[in-house]
Every structure is written in structure tokens, then in C-alpha cells.
Amino acid sequence: MLIERYFETLQAKIAEIAADSELIQKAAQCCAEALARGGALHIFDSGHMVSSELVHRAGGLAAISPLSFALNVNNPVKTRPDVPPAPSLSYAYIKHIFETNQLRRGDVLIIGSVSGKTANVVELALQAKAHGLTVIALTSLAYSSQLDSEHPGGKRLFEVAHLVLDNHAPYGDAMLTLEALDYPICPASGLGAAAVLWALTAGIVEALLAKGLKPTVYPSINRPDGRELVRQVEAQALLKGY
């Protein structure tokens, strides 16, 4: 059955991710050290489930801050082709992020991008490093390493980050090939990223506890007293910073 084949393939991917435990622990230690000295932990995702998976989740850390940004111009003219914004404009508004937001030296920024090739993602990582943040990439090395960068510098995300966590998605992302279909089905990157990030969360908790620091963890908001508990947790996190 194709369903059985899917689960067998998924289990193999999880085993590949588990083999990276030492690297995930290194990233977790980096995050814990930043939180312990008053820094912040930010997460940016270029379009899938990374940011929403970790933020405000039962069992997740209240210390995680989502980062998002966009520059959208909607002005269609039927007789004229769409023209993408110039790279210089894109880089200018990424620079503006660091001028107006809470990204500061000593913080950690996790950037999720399966392909790791887009210019804005690479530029975000470069500017974060220039501003003194530690950049952790979450990407597919098997996929990204076979793609050309769209950034003028020619680098992909995994080539500019301080630490790289691999979601172990294959080239093209999808895992199952079928003779009857033109392209594979069932992408690996979403579940792979979730597995990596929750392992990272476990490592951060362990590292903070080893420092004598009790991290603030979200309860389920769906409990009868959930909303009040979440309010209390967020108040604690605001005071402690982690």
C-alpha cells in the first residue's frame, strides 16, 4: 500500500534527522545561552509551517518571537507586464527591519527555507550576521546544494548561516515517486522541519535547566482555565525573558 510506503519513508527521514542530534544540541545550547544573557530568539519562515508550528503552541516556549515582513505592491495594468521589484529595493526594506524591530546584537535568528536560494532569505541572514545576531538555518541540504542562488553574492542560506539544521527533504521536496504521475508526492520538508524544531526546543529546555533557569512553557489554551493560564505564562515570560 502507498500509505505504508509513505510511513516507511517518513520513518527513515526521522531517523536521518535523529542522527543529527549532536548538531541540534549545539544549536540548542546557542539559543539557551542567548536567552540566559537577556537575548531573544526569533524565527522567520519563507512560506511553510516553521513559524506557526512553534509559536503560541501548547508545550512550546513562550520566548520564541516570530518575525515576518512583506513588501507588496498591487497595481495591475492589463496592457503592461508585471515587473518584479528591483533587488536594491528588497535589500533596503530588509535593512529597515533591523532599524525598526527588536532584532539586536546577541540574539538568535532561525531562518527556515527549504531551497535556501531566494535573494531575500540570504540577504536577511547576511544582514542579521552583520548586526551581531547568530543565524541558524533550517533548510534541505540535498535540495539547496543543487540549486543556484538568486542572491547577487551567489551564496545560498546554508553557506552564510552560522549553524545549519537539515530537514532532510530530498531534491524537489516530495518523497514518493509513482510511474503514473509526472512528479513525486508527499513533501518531506514540513514534517522534517517540525521534528528538527521540536528536538531543538527539547534541547533548549534541557540547556536552560542545566543553568538553573526554568523556561516558560505554554499550557494548552483549550483547557477550561487555559486562557488565564496562558495570560499568566506570558506575564512570566515578559518578566524573565525566557
Q: In what order do the strands lie in the sheet with 134-139?
A: 64-67, 41-45, 108-112, 134-139, 163-166
Q: Output the pTM of the full model.
A: 0.92
In this prediction, residues 4-26 reach a mean pLDDT of: 98
DSSP summary character for residue 181: S
Give how many domains the chain has, as a whole number. 1
- pLDDT digits over 167-190, tens only? 999 999 999 999 999 999 999 999
Give backbone dihedrals phi and psi of 101, rounded to 5 degrees, phi first: -105, -170
- pLDDT digits over 28-76, tens only? 999 999 999 999 999 999 866 666 788 999 999 999 999 988 776 677 7
Distances, alpha carbon 143 to alpha carbons 9, 187, 199, in Å: 17, 12, 22
Average pLDDT, the chain: 92
Strand partners, 136: 110, 163
- pLDDT digits over 208-238, tens only? 999 999 999 999 999 999 999 999 999 999 9
Instruction: Give the CB-side neighbour count of residue 195, counting CA atoms within 13 A.
Output: 22
Domain span at residue 210 reads: 2-240
Instruction: Give the CB-side neighbour count of residue 58, counting CA atoms within 13 A.
Output: 8
Higher-pLDDT residue of 238, 161: 161
Query: Cα 81 from chain centroid?
Result: 33
Query: Cα 175 from chain centroid?
Result: 21
Residue pointed to by grid coordinates 492589463: 78
pLDDT for position 95 = 85
- pLDDT digits over 135-149, tens only? 999 999 999 999 999
Q: What is the DSSP string of 39-83?
A: --EEEEESSSSHHHHHTT-TTSBTTEEEE----------TTS---
DSSP summary character for residue 217: B
- pLDDT digits over 66-122, tens only? 998 877 667 777 777 766 655 555 677 888 888 877 899 999 999 999 999 999 999
CATH number at residue 213: 3.40.50.10490
pLDDT for position 136 = 98
Residue 81: all three cell numbers together: 507586464
pLDDT for position 107 = 97
d(CA 176, CA 139) in angstroms, rounded, equals: 20
| CB neighbour class for 100 (10 Å; exposed up to 12, middle 13-18, buried from 19) | exposed
CB atoms within 10 A of CB 226: 14
pLDDT for position 84 = 63
Checking if the pLDDT of 201 tops 70, the result is yes
pLDDT for position 74 = 73
